[in-house]
Structure 1
Amino acid sequence: MLRKLLPVLLSVLALVAGAVGGDLLRGTTAAGIAAPDPQAALPADELPGVEPIAADNAIPPPPAAAPPRPAEPGKADAAAATAWFKFPQQFFVPVMHGGHLDSTMILSLSVEMPETASEEVYAHEIKLRDALLRQLLIHANTGGFDGNFTTEAHLRKLRAELTATARTIVPRIGEILIGDIARQER
């Protein structure tokens, strides 16, 4: 019986000790009122270890900051850090013609996102992979990988399709990046 209660009691004790320690570090009393600072009422020239500053040597106040600009929808804020997630496995997309396998497309994809969205992207990795593979199969079945598929116009269209698909799963995704693309002929 004691073996079962001991972990619970230790957890409760640790929780209470953490709360008390946090309350002490914050500088409040048990009633929740901030404890008075004994040096707050002293003038600056009477504080221990503080030298008064002469008016001619005063440090000028910092310039006022410009108000933040609203971010464009779908774009990462310029001040926010950008992160990337690279899918650990490549995407293999069969290209069929006349009911027979003609070739296989091999792609390495990465997700560009705000750093604050990285946990959400990692949590939805499997759903993202499924949705992107589905979109790649649609692209292949509509002739997107026929002919010269590496022209900028073709790749821009593919990136836009993949990005729109990924944003249905995680709306804060910035772009889908194509790291590698190759066609393996049969």
Structure 2
Amino acid sequence: MRKLVPAFLALAAFLGGAAAGDMLKAPGPASAEGQDKAAEHSADQADAPGAGAAPAEAAAPAAHAPAAPPAAESAGHGGGGHGASAGSSPAWFKFPQQFFVPILHDGQLDSTMILSLSLEMPEGDRETVNAHELKLRDGLLRQLLIRANTGGFDGNFTAEPQLRALRAELLATAQGIVPAITGILIEDIARQER
């Protein structure tokens, strides 16, 4: 009897496993058929008039919508200006060379600030800005030196309030030379330690 009980248990386990396998296997074709029917149903809906047109029509206006004006983008980047006038598209002037500003402490060179700047202006004023490049560079460098000598580049100089104040100072200086300038972009800013 003790020898028969393990054999019966093994046989019952085998038969139970086979039955469970058949049960799991049976819904497979039905679910595959259900998937095929669902695919046919969605294909029929796509072929039906008006069906599926709404997403395509909704996407079409987004694709053909006019892009946001660059002046709004520059305001979002904190250009520091009022943006180009509504009737003209903005133009940009990038200074070909970086600005190097020495930082002195106790009369000794401590570090150097390195900045890349660009100016925003209406397209029609590009030639005026080009003609005043040297004066603009001199004025902006002078303002950067004043900021360096008053501790404006000490501590966390990349904090947004610090950068906003720097842009405002540089914009006021640039507008004193060419009033048409509407924004200052700080493209790169870094401090190189001695």
What's the TM-score once normalised by structure 2's chain length?
0.57
Matched, 1:185 2:193: yes
Q: For residues 140-185 of structure 1, what are the alpha-carbon distances to aligned partners after superposition, in whole Å with 9 as ceiling and x for unaligned?
A: 0000000000000000000000000000100000011100000000
The answer (yes or no) to whether the contact 1:128–1:166 under 8 Å persists in 2 is: yes
Name 1:163's counterpart in structure 2. 171
Cα deviation for residue 74 of structure 1 reads 5.6
How many residue pairs get aligned? The number is: 114
Cα deviation for residue 94 of structure 1 reads 0.1
Name 2:114's counterpart in structure 1. 106
Matched, 1:141 2:149: yes
In structure 2, stretches of 5+ residues that fail to align are 1-80
1:173 alignment partner, one of 181, 186, 189: 181
Name 1:119's counterpart in structure 2. 127
Name 1:88's counterpart in structure 2. 96
Cα deviation for residue 132 of structure 1 reads 0.1
CA distance in 1, matches of 2:123, 2:93: 10
Identity over the aligned pairs, expressed in percent?
72
Paired amino acid for 2:189: I
The answer (yes or no) to whether the contact 1:139–1:145 under 8 Å persists in 2 is: yes
Paired amino acid for 2:136: L
2:138 alignment partner, one of 107, 114, 130: 130
Cα deviation for residue 77 of structure 1 reads 1.5
2:86 alignment partner, one of 78, 81, 104: 78
Paired amino acid for 2:154: D
CA distance in 1, matches of 2:83, 2:163: 20
The answer (yes or no) to whether the contact 1:74–1:173 under 8 Å persists in 2 is: no
CA distance in 1, matches of 2:83, 2:156: 30
In structure 1, stretches of 5+ residues that fail to align are 1-72
Q: For residues 81-110 of structure 1, what are the alpha-carbon distances to aligned partners after superposition, in whole Å with 9 as ceiling and x for unaligned?
A: 100000000000000000000000000000
SS of the residue 1:111 aligns to: strand
CA distance in 1, matches of 2:146, 2:102: 11
Which one has the bigger helix percentage?
A: 2
SS of the residue 1:162 aligns to: helix
Quote the RMSD (CA, aligned, Å).
1.3
Cα deviation for residue 139 of structure 1 reads 0.4
SS of the residue 1:155 aligns to: helix
Q: For residues 101-134 of structure 1, what are the alpha-carbon distances to aligned partners after superposition, in whole Å with 9 as ceiling and x for unaligned?
A: 0000000000000001100000000000000000
Cα deviation for residue 79 of structure 1 reads 2.9
Q: For residues 31-61 of structure 1, what are the alpha-carbon distances to aligned partners after superposition, in whole Å with 9 as ceiling and x for unaligned?
A: xxxxxxxxxxxxxxxxxxxxxxxxxxxxxxx
